[in-house]
């Protein structure tokens, strides 16, 4: 005997088949509440290396800041929901770091040339 509560209601097949899996649309970036845009990951990396270059990696940090800063700009141009603010700051810091490096090298060469030219170290040209 079967349990009366386990019988299927009349008119329905004994097994229910599920709908085939529906594919979802690719992920779309959602606008943040309040109109704020999301920052790009490459923009964050650019800002971090733009700051780090002044303390640890002078030339390498500047180059990484510049490359990732321009990558951030390209990502923000492709997706209007992304912000390039941090990438822009990273690019500016990268260029400032490179300029200071060049000025420092020129200054050191001038000082070295003056010191050698005056015979201050006992070396005569």
49-59 pLDDT tens trace: 999 999 998 89
Reading the block at residue 39, the tokens are 């920052």
Share of the chain above pLDDT 70, in %: 66
Q: What are 54's two structure tokens?
A: 């002044």
Taking 3-state DSSP, the helix, strand and coil percentages for the chain, each rounded to the nearest 5, stand at 60, 5, 40
For the chain, which residues make up each domain, given as ranges?
Answer: 38-125
| Residue 38 confidence class, pLDDT cut points 50, 70, 90 | very high
pTM for the complete prediction? 0.65
Residue 91, judged by CB atoms within 10 A of its CB (0-12, 13-18, 19+), counts as: buried
**pLDDT tens readout for residues 80-124:** 899 989 999 999 999 999 999 999 999 999 888 887 777 665 655
d(CA 14, CA 16): 7
Higher pLDDT pick, 13 / 107: 107
């Amino acid at each position: 005997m079967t349990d009366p509560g386990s019988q299927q209601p009349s008119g329905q097949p004994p097994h229910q088949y599920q709908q085939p899996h529906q594919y979802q649309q690719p992920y779309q970036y959602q606008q943040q509440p309040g109109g704020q845009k999301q920052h790009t990951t490459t923009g964050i990396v650019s800002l971090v290396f733009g700051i780090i270059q002044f303390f640890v990696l002078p030339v390498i940090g500047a180059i990484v800041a510049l490359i990732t800063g321009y990558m951030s700009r390209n990502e923000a141009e492709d997706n209007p929901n992304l912000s390039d603010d941090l990438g822009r700051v990273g690019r500016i810091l990268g260029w400032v770091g490179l300029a200071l490096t060049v000025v420092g090298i020129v200054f050191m060469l001038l000082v070295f040339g003056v010191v050698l030219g005056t015979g201050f170290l006992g070396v005569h040209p």
